[in-house]
């Protein structure tokens, strides 16, 4: 017998934060609705979708990461910027690279475009940063954007006080603010980074994954089911309306059809257009306006700090208990977003007689907004990828404006490094394109159906009623800030639309 239901009210493709947001809102607002979620990768954590950093045993955590690497499992990975400098194309643990088609001759491409395949998606591996968009990052035609962002904060469990006790966090912010804040609106001044994290009673940090978005209400919903190792190969369309999905059980190879009143494709910004393309759903804007964030990184050693302040604080997880995480917001005048946090060790070898005070080495990262271009896109070929889906080819080029902004970011990050301490290394390092993992725009939202967008303001695909898209690909603006909070906010809007329609069925 099939492990899948014959029919449901809503089929969700993908188990990351946005797919989880649809399941959560539907469980809260229409709990009688039957909802099935399909994920191509395995379950690697308990509860399903939890962040792997919450796995305390190092060997178990590494095993969960390997199981998330899909067709890249077993290949060498790297998890620090220093190793990237060698020029090797390596994915970070828990992810796998696009093996081919990542660059076309005479274009820049996205050489380290990466994916994860596991319940929870990339949210099982992310840094948890949830800044709000500002200026031109915001979607001007959505009047309820702030309320949607508030709801996304709730679903992701966003806080700003998790590192308030860190001894160096106020010092880092003060030094940054001294060179950044002048002339900025309060909302754009240096501040704590909003993070999807909470602190347990025993003091340990718990990072939010899709499990937090799903919440107890979804896990306890008898009408919700989660199916891992299940590849949705296409959306079924009848008479211009979504009618279900075709699913291949990766455990057995069997193919099943699951009928549905509504279908949500939330399979990341590259695989969501892939599913639509494979389904014959090919609006002109599909895959277009692909954009990522170029990323510049540097490091500095905090000056004038002693060991006493940090002696009683132990590091936990990938981010610092000593210097916290600070945020330099994007503005239209300074078009990059800054994230400043501790590095576990100096990227530059220090003398043996020059010991490192815990928390005193901070990493600085600036993310640049892309100059949006219609020709930047993901295309699909007749060749199969490792899952048997249409193989991808990325068309991607930096403009003169992109290069000018990137040069400004290099200059700015040196200025910020000097403000907080002593810069380490001769110059900042520009990460390979695709390293931010913040791919956007490929199923972009539009206010009207003018051929330049895939879906409307409620995330419903223009030409196929009942079909919704979710994820970073829906964001229509050029952003420099981490996109997860925005994409979850947009998923809330779409989920509420389905909930309203189901309430009348």
Instruction: Give which of 24, 447, 429, 498 is closest to 218, Cα–Cα.
Output: 24
* Tens digits of residue pLDDT in 242-254: 999 999 999 999 9
Q: Can you give 142-161 as a three-state secondary structure string? A: CCCHHHHHHHHHHHHCEECC
* Residue among 379, 376, 355, 386 at smallest CA distance from 69: 386
Least confident piece of the model among 343-352, 379-388, 433-442: 343-352
- C-alpha radius of gyration, the chain, whole number: 22
CA distances from 146 to 132, 143, 195 (A): 9, 8, 17
3-state class of 17 per DSSP?
A: helix
Q: Which pLDDT score is estimated for 318?
A: 39
Which pLDDT belongs to residue 370? Answer: 97
Q: How many helices (H) and strands (E) does the chain have?
A: 9, 20
E strand or H helix that includes residue 296: strand 294-302
Distance between CA atoms of residues 90 and 72, nearest Å: 10
Residues of the chain with pLDDT > 70, as a percent, come to 92
Q: Which of 45-59, 322-336, 445-459 has the lowest mean pLDDT?
A: 322-336
Q: Between 361 and 38, where is the model more confident? A: 38
- What pLDDT sits at residue 163? 86
Q: Are 460 and 501 in contact (CB under 8 A)?
A: no
CA angle at residue 66 from 65 to 67, to 5 degrees? 90
Per-residue model confidence (pLDDT) at position 167: 81
Instruction: Please state the rounded mean pLDDT for residues 360-383.
Output: 96
Q: Is pLDDT at 229 greater than 60 in this prediction?
A: yes
pLDDT at 312 over 50: no
Once rounded to an integer, what is the mean pLDDT over residues 307-331?
Answer: 62
Name the token pair of 172. 């880092």
How far apart, in whole angstroms, are the C-alpha atoms of residue 478 and residue 291? 8
C-alpha 151: how far from chain center: 17
Confidence category of residue 304, pLDDT binned at 50, 70, 90? confident
Catalytic site includes residue 438: yes
Alpha-carbon distance values, 109 to 291, 335, 375, 392, 434 (Å): 11, 22, 12, 12, 8
- Answer yes or no: is pLDDT of 45 > 90: yes
Structure tokens at 406: 């990137």
Nearest CA to 296 out of 368, 400, 399 is that of 368
In tens, the pLDDT along 330-355 reads: 999 999 999 998 776 666 666 565 66
pTM, two decimals, is: 0.95
The yes-or-no verdict on residue 358 having pLDDT over 80 is: no
Q: Determine which one of 125, 227, 337, 438 is catalytic.
A: 438
Q: What is the pLDDT at residue 455? A: 98
pLDDT digits (tens, 9 = 90+) for 159-200: 999 888 888 888 999 999 999 999 999 999 999 999 999 988
Q: What is the structure's pLDDT at 322?
A: 67
What pLDDT score was predicted for residue 400? 98
Q: What is the pLDDT of residue 317?
A: 40
Q: Hey, is 195 helix, strand or coil?
A: strand
Question: Would residue 208 be called left, alpha or beta, if left means φ above 0 and alpha means ψ between -120 and 50 degrees?
Answer: beta
Task: Tell me the two tokens of residue 258.
Answer: 């699951």
Structure confidence by residue, pLDDT tens digits, 194-225: 999 998 888 788 999 999 999 999 999 999 99
Average pLDDT over residues 37-48: 97
| pLDDT exceeds cutoff 60 at 313 | no
Tell me the three state secondary structure of residue 108.
coil
Q: What is the pLDDT of residues 99-143, one digit of tens each?
A: 899 999 999 999 999 999 999 999 999 999 999 999 999 999 999
Report which of residues 486 and 205 the model is more confident about: 486
pLDDT at 380 over 90: yes
Residues with Cβ < 8 Å from 500, sequence gap 6 or more? Answer: none
CB atoms within 10 A of CB 399: 13
Which residues, including other chains, have CB under 8 Å from residue 364's CB and lie 6 or more apart?
Answer: 297, 298, 299, 300, 338, 339, 340, 413, 416, 417, 420
Q: Looking only at Cα atoms, what is the longest distance across the chain?
A: 74
pLDDT, tens digit, for every residue of 467-478?
999 999 999 999
Q: What is the mean pLDDT of residues 281-285?
A: 98
CA 141 to the chain's CA centroid: 23
CA distance 292 to 441: 9
The whole-angstrom separation of Cα 132 and Cα 431 is: 23
Residues 6 or more apart whose CB falls under 8 angstroms from that of 362 comprise: 172, 299, 300, 301, 302, 320, 323, 340, 341, 342, 343, 420, 421
For range 435-455, the mean pLDDT = 97
pLDDT at 308: 46
In sequence order, what are the beta bridge partners of 205?
Answer: 199
């Amino acid at each position: 017998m099939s492990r899948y239901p014959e029919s449901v009210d809503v089929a969700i493709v993908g188990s990351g934060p946005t797919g989880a947001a649809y399941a959560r809102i539907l469980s809260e607002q229409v709990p009688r609705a039957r909802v099935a979620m399909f994920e191509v990768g395995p379950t690697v954590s308990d509860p399903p979708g939890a962040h792997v950093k919450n796995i305390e045993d190092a060997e178990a955590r590494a095993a969960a990461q390997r199981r998330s690497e899909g067709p890249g499992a077993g290949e060498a990975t790297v998890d620090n910027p220093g190793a990237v400098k060698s020029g090797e194309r390596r994915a970070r643990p828990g992810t796998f690279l696009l093996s081919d088609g990542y660059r076309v001759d005479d274009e820049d491409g996205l050489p380290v475009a990466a994916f994860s395949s596991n319940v929870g998606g990339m949210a099982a591996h992310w840094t948890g940063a949830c800044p709000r968009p500002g200026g031109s990052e915001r979607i001007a035609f959505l009047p309820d954007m702030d309320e949607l962002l508030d709801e996304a904060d709730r679903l992701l469990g966003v806080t700003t006080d998790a590192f308030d006790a860190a001894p160096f966090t106020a010092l880092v912010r003060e030094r940054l603010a001294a060179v950044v804040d002048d002339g900025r609106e309060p909302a754009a001044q240096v501040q704590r980074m909003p993070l999807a994290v909470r602190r347990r009673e025993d003091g340990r940090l718990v990072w939010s994954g899709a499990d937090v978005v799903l919440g107890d209400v979804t896990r306890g919903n008898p009408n919700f089911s989660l199916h891992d190792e299940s590849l949705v190969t296409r959306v079924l369309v009848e008479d211009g309306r979504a009618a279900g999905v075709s699913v291949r059980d990766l455990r057995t190879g069997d193919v099943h059809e699951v009928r549905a009143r509504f279908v949500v494709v939330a399979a990341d910004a590259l695989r969501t257009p892939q599913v639509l393309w494979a389904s014959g759903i090919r609006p002109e804007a599909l895959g277009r306006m692909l954009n990522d964030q170029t990323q510049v990184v540097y490091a500095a050693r905090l000056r004038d700090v002693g060991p006493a302040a940090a002696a009683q604080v132990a590091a936990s997880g990938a981010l610092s208990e000593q210097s916290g995480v600070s945020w330099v917001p994007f503005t239209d005048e300074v078009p990059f977003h800054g994230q400043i946090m501790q590095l576990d060790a100096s990227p530059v070898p220090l003398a043996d007689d020059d010991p490192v005070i815990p928390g005193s080495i901070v990493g600085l990262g600036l993310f640049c907004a892309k100059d949006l271009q219609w020709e930047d896109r993901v295309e699909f070929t007749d060749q199969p990828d490792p899952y048997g889906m249409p193989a991808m080819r990325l068309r991607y080029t930096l403009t003169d404006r992109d290069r000018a902004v990137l040069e400004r970011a290099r200059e700015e990050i040196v200025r910020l490094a000097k403000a907080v301490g002593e810069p380490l290394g001769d110059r900042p390092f520009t990460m390979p394109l695709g390293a931010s993992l913040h791919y956007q725009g490929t199923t972009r939202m539009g206010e009207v159906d003018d051929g330049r967008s895939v879906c409307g303001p409620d995330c419903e695909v223009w030409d196929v009623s009942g079909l919704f898209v979710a994820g970073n690909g829906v964001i229509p603006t050029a952003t420099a800030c981490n996109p997860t909070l925005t994409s979850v906010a947009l998923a809330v809007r779409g989920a509420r639309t389905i909930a309203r329609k189901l309430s009348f069925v």
